[in-house]
Amino acid sequence: MSDSSDDLLWSRYDFSKIPFEDIVSLGQRTLLYRDLFNVSWLLGRYCNYKCSYCWPYARSDERDHRPLDVLMATMDKIKFQARNNGFNSFHFSFSGGEPTVHPGFLDLLEYYSQDPISPSYQSTHMTTNLSRHLGWFEKYVEATKKLHRVSITASWHREMANKVDFRDKILFLLENDIHVTINMVMVPEMFEDYYEEALFFHDSGINVTLKPQSDPSASRVVDGYTREQLAKLHNGMPQRNFTQHKMEQNKRRSNRPKMPDHFKLPKIEIEGDGPIAQNMQVELVDSNGKIWYMDQAERFNAFNFNQFKGWHCRAGFQGIVIREPGGEVKRSYSCHDSPLGTIDKGFNIFSEPMPCVTPSCVSSVDSKIPKTKAKYASERENKK
Ligand code: SF4
């Protein structure tokens, strides 16, 4: 891609300047500024790939999917409880295993997008190995066309997938108004090889998320990164609006439903930003009230910023996770709290934010949920 240059490779906003020790609240901006309820739904462990490095608990050869009607009824129950708490916008994010091999997945997305109670806004995301053929993705585009925003995290598995085929499917998705980022865990011993692959995709106009490898407790980045490598993890390949760029290149306009004006997020100007704007999904506030930004919560772990025990967290109130096998409903993945229930026996979403009881908040699904240090949460409550 001709625009790909150093201008696009590095963030103009230096994330390493954020005073992480002094941050007192944070959250994904869509969750801070909208009445948005977030659901992360692990549909099953079945995966059609068998990568040598995959954790045994993360995948299965058995098709362990729940029937479509159970999924639809669960979706209704979630929305009902969330609406009772004042949320009427939704983000449903699906993962697995491999979510696209669930036989009812596309029907579930159609059902989601046809909510008769008129939600203010709806978006969806999935984490996929992108193994389905292009015809399947054409159906995916069709099933999600009534949603306000659609995004994908594409996991690159070099043992199983073909680089050119993988890239071409992503370019097709970008042209069809779907946001994509490629997930790459940058193992220190393989860093340079992975970085070469990341450059191949980035040079094609595709976002790549460079993730650090964490220690077995998942609380700290492993040793072994050089200073240059850490710099890439801290400020390299910032998320940019490649989708809009690709659509403009192809003279295509978005046909998604228009967002009400009050739903538009406050604009962020980044000095000297490159030709394709950086996306800043996360907002952080320090003890002086100064606002800081980060492109995505995936970068928190690169700064070992993942300890929020005692903070007031909206996980369980403004978002839940559902996990198979067992259909467990939880605050979020890392949380040590008792589950909120199960799909089979029922579940109860919290009616207010609750303190965090967990030493490390390691998944970006968890860390992006709005949270405030206890002292500052009480000050805000007292001011009300
Ligand atoms: S571990 Fe759970 S409760 Fe604690 S900050 Fe993370 S999401 Fe919130």
Select from 313, 332, 314, 337 the least CA-distant residue to 322: 332
CA-proximal residue: ligand 1, atom 7 (nearest): 366
361 lines ligand 1 (CB under 6 A): yes
- pLDDT one digit per residue (tens) for the chain, 384 residues: 444 456 789 999 999 999 999 999 999 999 999 999 999 999 999 999 888 877 777 888 888 899 999 999 999 999 999 999 999 999 999 999 999 999 999 999 999 999 999 899 999 999 999 999 999 999 999 999 999 999 999 999 888 999 999 999 999 999 999 999 999 989 999 999 999 999 999 999 999 999 998 877 767 889 999 999 999 999 999 999 999 999 999 999 999 998 888 888 988 988 888 788 899 999 999 999 999 999 999 999 999 999 999 999 999 999 999 999 899 999 999 999 999 999 999 999 999 999 999 999 989 999 999 999 999 987 765 554
334 lines ligand 1 (CB under 6 A): yes
Cα(380)–Cα(378) distance, rounded to whole angstroms? 5
332 lines ligand 1 (CB under 6 A): yes
| End-to-end Cα, the chain, rounded Å | 51
The full DSSP string for 55-118 is -GGG-BSS--PPPHHHHHHHHHHHHHHHHHTT--EEEEEEESS-GGGSTTHHHHHHHHHT-TT-
| Residue 206, helix vs strand vs coil | coil
Cα(366)–Cα(180) distance, rounded to whole angstroms? 20
331 lines ligand 1 (CB under 6 A): yes
pTM (predicted TM-score): 0.94
Select from 330, 311, 307 the least CA-distant residue to 371: 311
pLDDT the model gives residue 2: 42
CA-proximal residue: ligand 1, atom 6 (nearest): 361
Secondary structure element (H or E) that encloses residue 199, with its range: helix 191-203
Cα(384)–Cα(378) distance, rounded to whole angstroms? 10
> By CB neighbour count within 10 A (0-12 exposed, 13-18 middle, 19+ buried), where does 265 fall?
middle
pLDDT the model gives residue 271: 84
126 near 180, Cβ under 8 Å?
Answer: no
Cα(289)–Cα(48) distance, rounded to whole angstroms? 48
358 lines ligand 1 (CB under 6 A): yes
pLDDT the model gives residue 280: 96
CA-proximal residue: ligand 1, atom 4 (nearest): 356
pLDDT the model gives residue 168: 97
CA-proximal residue: ligand 1, atom 3 (nearest): 356
Distance from CA of residue 377 to its chain's centroid?
A: 25
Name the residue of 301, 371, 373 whose CB sits within 8 Å of the most ligand 1 atoms, as the mutation to test its pocket: 371
314 lines ligand 1 (CB under 6 A): no
pLDDT the model gives residue 383: 52
Cα(300)–Cα(315) distance, rounded to whole angstroms? 17
Q: Please report the beta strands in 253-338, taking only residues with DSSP state E, as ranges in sequence order.
A: 282-286, 291-294, 312-313, 319-323, 328-330
pLDDT the model gives residue 384: 44
343 lines ligand 1 (CB under 6 A): no
Domain ranges of the chain: 6-13+34-273+317-360
CA-proximal residue: ligand 1, atom 8 (nearest): 313
Domain 6-13+34-273+317-360 architecture: Alpha-Beta Barrel (3.20)
Single-letter residue type at 157: H
Name the residue of 38, 306, 308 whose CB sits within 8 Å of the most ligand 1 atoms, as the mutation to test its pocket: 308
CA-proximal residue: ligand 1, atom 2 (nearest): 335
Q: Measured from the CA of 308, which atom of ligand 1 is nearest?
A: 5
Q: In this structure, how many other beta carbons lie within 10 angstroms of the beta carbon of residue 163? A: 13
Secondary structure element (H or E) that encloses residue 375, with its range: helix 374-383
